[in-house]
Amino acid sequence: MAKLGAEDEQENNPVSLTEMKTIIKSLHRTPQPQDSYHLLSRPQQVVIFRLRTGHSRLNQHLHGKLHVVPSPMCSCGEAEQDTAHILRDCRNHQVLREEIWPLPESLHNKLYGPVAALQRTTNYISRSGLQV
């Protein structure tokens, strides 16, 4: 069989060894299931990532780490402006929060839940006018 195959006219497709390895590996790679975070648009991913890590433009981070605002307090005056306060308690955004989440929803679900929950969170941040 090998001799018969060798006697046939061979295609001239120069491919480097590295490129051939990449092609073979991609043919045998099983697709990875995507979590809800990776199903979001890139701007939505940025918002969720910043809220999850606390590395955001909220006063707590800007005051504590970067020292660019005089106080970590929220403009409502009740607590430090961090992710939990903004998503759960801030009275400045109470009406919007009740509109987006008419039923109580855990902070964990708002940040790590299914795609719809993450999209509601990014919608809330966008409509609140906060820059994270």
122 within domain boundaries: yes
- Which residues constitute the domain of residue 68? 56-128
Alpha-carbon distance values, 52 to 24, 29, 47, 58, 109 (Å): 37, 31, 9, 12, 11
> How much of the chain is in helix, strand and coil states, percent to nearest 5?
60, 0, 40
43 located within any domain: no
List the chain pLDDT tens, one digit each, 132 residues.
888 888 888 778 788 889 989 989 888 888 777 899 999 999 999 999 999 999 999 999 999 988 999 999 999 999 999 999 999 999 999 999 999 999 999 999 999 999 999 999 999 999 999 999
Report the predicted TM-score, pTM, of the whole model to 2 decimal places.
0.76
Structural domain count, the chain:
1
Is 123 contained in some domain? yes
Residues 6+ positions from 129 with CB-CB distance below 8 Å = none
Asked whether residue 25 is domain-assigned, the answer is no
Distance from C-alpha of 31 to C-alpha of 50, rounded to nearest angstrom: 27
Give the H or E element holding residue 70.
Answer: none
In a domain, 106, yes or no: yes
